[in-house]
Structure 1
C-alpha cells in the first residue's frame, strides 16, 4: 500500500497578500467619515478618553432615568386631565373615540335642526307675552 502524499499549496503568498491589501484599500476608501458615524450615534461625539466614556454614558442614562421618574411622580391623574379637557370623558378605546366624537357632533346638529324646525311662530310668542310687538323678528328695526 502506498500512502498518498498530501497536497501542498505552493501558490506564492505575495498574490494573496496583494489581494487582501487591495480588498482592505477598497474598504478603507468606502469607509464612512468620522462625523457621519457620530451623526448616526455609532461613535460618541466627545473628546474624552474611551475609559471615561462608559462612565459618562452611565451617568447620562441615570440622569435621564431620574428625570423620568420625577416627572412621572408629578403626572396628573386621569380625572384631572378630563377636568382640564385634555382627555375625553369617555372610556372607549382610542380607535373608537374619533368616530364617537363625529357621531356626537352629528347628533347635536340633528337635534338643533329639529329644534329650529319646531320653533314657535313669532305670533305665538307675542300672544303668550314672551315677545313684544317691538321685538317681532319679522319686522327689523330701522
Structure 2
C-alpha cells in the first residue's frame, strides 16, 4: 500500500467529531506493516519487541567476529604478489597502468632489436648451427 503524504489541517479548535473523523481518515491511509518492513522502518523479525535490541546487537557482534576471523586469515602482500594477484611494483595505483604499458613497449622494442640483429641463415649454416635442410629460405619439399 502506498502512503499518501497529507498534512492534517484540522483545526485544534475543531469539534471532537471532526478531529476523530480526521484521525480515522489518516488511519485508513497509513501503510501496512509489510510496506514498513520493506522500507526498513519496522524490523522484519519474529523476535519479541522487548529483546529485539539484544538480537540486533548479537547479529552485529556475529558479523564483526566473522569479519575479524576472515581478516586474520587474509594472505599477506608477498603471497598475493607470488600468486600474481597483486603487481610486483610499489608504484602508486595511478601509475601502475602506465608503467605496465611502458614495460610492454620496452619489451617489444627489445625483441624487435634482437630480430633485426639476428644472424643470417648462411652464417648459421657455416657455423654448423643449421643444416642445409633447416635453411628457412628453402621451401619444404
Assess same fold via TM > 0.5. Answer: yes
Does 2:51 match 1:47?
no
Higher relative CO (Cα under 8 Å, sequence separation at least 6) belongs to: 2
Larger radius of gyration: 1
- Aligned residue-pair number: 131
Give the Cα–Cα distance (whole angstroms) in 2 for the partners of residues 128 and 32 of structure 1.
92
Q: Which residue of 2 aligns with 1:99?
A: 98
Alignment CA distance shift 1:12-1:77 (3 Å):
closer
TM-score in terms of structure 1 length? 0.75
Give the Cα–Cα distance (whole angstroms) in 1 for the partners of residues 85 and 50 of structure 2.
47
- 1:23-102 maps to which residues of 2 (within 5 A)? 25=25, 29=29, 34-102=33-101
Give the Cα–Cα distance (whole angstroms) in 2 for the partners of residues 116 and 34 of structure 1.
75
Q: 1:17-69 CA distances to partner (integer Å, 9 max, x unpaired)?
A: 9589659946974x555444433433221122222211111111111111111
Q: Which residue of 2 aligns with 1:135?
A: 134
The DSSP-based 3-state class of the residue aligned with 1:85 is coil
Give the Cα–Cα distance (whole angstroms) in 2 for the partners of residues 130 and 74 of structure 1.
54
Q: 1:49-97 CA distances to partner (integer Å, 9 max, x unpaired)?
A: 2222111111111111111111111111111111111111111111111
TM-score in terms of structure 2 length? 0.75
Greater CA drift, 45-54 or 19-28: 19-28
Give the Cα–Cα distance (whole angstroms) in 2 for the partners of residues 123 and 32 of structure 1.
91
